[in-house]
Structure 1
Amino acid sequence: MLCSLRRRRARSAAAMDDSDDECCYYYDAVGSDGDGEEEEEEIVLDEDDVGLLDGGAPPPPPEEVEHRAAITKESLAAAQQQDLSMVMNLVNIERHNARALLAHQRWKMERIYDRLGMMGRDALLRDAGVVLPEKSSRSSSMAMAKTKPPRSLAVTCNVCFEEYFPPGSVSAMDCGHCFCNDCWTEYFAAAVSDGSKQIRCMEVQCSAICDEEVVRWLLLGSRSKHPGAVARLDRLLLEAYVDGSDAVRWCPSAPHCGRAIRVDGGERYSEVSCPCGADFCFHCGGDAHSPCPCPMWDKWGAKRRGGSGGEVDNLKWIVANTKSCPKCSKPIEKNGGCNHVRCTCGQHLCYACGEATGKLYMHVCNRYKEEGDGGGVKVDMTAGGRQRQRFMHYYERFEIHIDSYKEEQKKLGPAIDALARRLEADATLPWSGTRDAGWPAAAHRRLLRCRQVLPRSYVLTYYMFGGGAATRREEAAALAAAQNRFEDLQGQLEHHVEVLSKTLAAAARPDMAEIVKTKRDADNLARVVEGLCAGMYRCVHDELLPLLVEPMNISAYHPDGPAMAKEFPPATSRRPA
Structure 2
Amino acid sequence: MFECVKKVKETIKLPSTTVRLLLQHVHWNEQRLMEQFFDPDYQDKLFRDANIVNPFKKSPNVDGVEDLKRQLSSSPLHSFRRQGLTPSTPSTPSPMIMTPPSSPLINLKPVTPIIEHTCVICCVTKSSNEMGGLKCGHVFCIECWQYYLISKIMDEGISETISCPAKCNIRVDDITVLHIIESQDVRNKYQYLITNSFVQCNRKMRWCPGKNCKNAIKELLSSGVTTVTCTCHTSFCFQCGDDGHEPIKCEWLRRWHKKCQDDSETSNWIAANTKDCPKCH
On whether the aligned pair clears a TM of 0.5, the verdict is yes
Partner of 1:229: 186
Q: How many residues align?
A: 218
Does structure 2 conserve the Cα–Cα contact (< 8 Å) formed by 1:197 and 1:240? no
Pick aligned residue for 2:118 from 156, 159, 169 = 156
Cα distance between partner residues in 2 of 1:251 and 1:110: 27
Within-5 A mapping of 1:97-176:
97-118=18-39, 121-132=43-54, 134=59, 141-144=95-98, 145=105, 147-148=107-108, 151=111, 153-166=115-128, 168-176=129-137
1:208 aligns with 2:129: no
Change (3 A) 1:292 1:114: farther
Return the offset for 1:171. Answer: 0.9
The C-alpha deviation readout for 1:89-119, integer Å capped at 9, x for no partner, is 3333333332222222222223323433456
Partner residue, 1:189: 150
Residues 167-194 of structure 1, C-alpha deviations (whole Å, 9 max, x = no match) = x211111322211111111111212221
How many angstroms apart in 1 are the aligned matches of 2:251 and 2:171? 37
Q: Is the 8 A contact 1:171 1:180 kept in 2?
A: yes
Q: 1:96 aligns with which of 17, 20, 41?
A: 17
Distance 1:251 1:231, change over 3 A: closer
**Could you tell me which residue of structure 1 aligns to residue 277 of structure 2?**
none
**Cross-structure match for 1:286:** 242
In the alignment, is the contact (CA less than 8 A) between 1:173 and 1:211 conserved in 2? no
The structural deviation recorded for 1:146 is: 5.4
State the 1:150 CA deviation: 6.4
State the secondary structure of the residue aligned to 2:181.
Answer: helix
What letter matches 1:273 in structure 2?
Answer: V
Counterpart residue type for residue 142 of structure 1: M
- Map 1:261-272 → 2, pairs under 5 A: 261-263=217-219, 271=226
Q: Is the 8 A contact 2:206 2:238 kept in 1?
A: no
- SS of the equivalent of 1:249 reads strand
2:14 alignment partner, SS class: coil
**More contact order relative to length (CA 8 Å, sep ≥ 6):** 1
Q: Which residue of 2 aligns with 1:238?
A: 195
SS across alignment from 2:97: helix
1:292 to partner: Cα distance: 6.3
- Does the 8 Å CA contact 1:131/1:174 hold for their aligned counterparts? yes
Question: 2:96 aligns to what SS in structure 1?
Answer: helix
Aligned to 1:391: none
What is the Cα-based RMSD across aligned positions, in Å?
Answer: 3.6
Q: Deviations over 1:439-458 (max 9, x none)?
A: xxxxxxxxxxxxxxxxxxxx
C-alpha distance after superposition, 1:396-431 (max 9, x if no partner): xxxxxxxxxxxxxxxxxxxxxxxxxxxxxxxxxxxx
Give the residue type in structure 1 aligned to 2:165: M
Tell me which structure has the larger Cα radius of gyration: 1
d(CA) in 1 for partners of 2:265, 2:106: 67
Q: Secondary structure at the match of 2:150?
A: helix
SS at match of 1:142: coil
8 Å CA contact retained: 2:228, 2:238: no
1:308 aligns with 2:263: yes
Partner Cα separation in structure 2 for residue 264 and residue 159 of structure 1:
49
Other structure's SS at 1:273 match: strand
Q: 1:255 to 1:218 in 2, by over 3 A?
A: closer
Q: Distance in 2 between matches of 1:310 and 1:186?
A: 46
Give me the TM-score of the superposition, normalised by structure 1. Answer: 0.33
Question: What is the CA deviation profile of residues 113-155 of structure 1, one whole-angstrom value per residue up to 9, with x for unaligned ones?
Answer: 34334565433333323224656xxx86422345225636533
In the alignment, structure 1 segments of 5+ residues that lack a partner are 1-79, 312-577
Q: Which runs of 5+ in 2 are unaligned?
A: 63-92, 99-104, 267-281
Flag the structure with higher helix content: 1
> CA shift at 1:299, angstroms?
1.1
Would you say the 8 A contact 2:44–2:54 is kept in 1?
no
Amino acid across the alignment from 2:45: A
Quote the Cα distance in structure 1 between the aligned partners of 2:225 and 2:27.
18
Cα distance between partner residues in 2 of 1:247 and 1:111: 17
Question: What one-letter code is carried by the residue in structure 2 that aligns with 1:297?
Answer: L
TM-score (norm 2): 0.62
Question: What secondary structure is seen at the aligned counterpart in 1 of 2:135?
Answer: coil
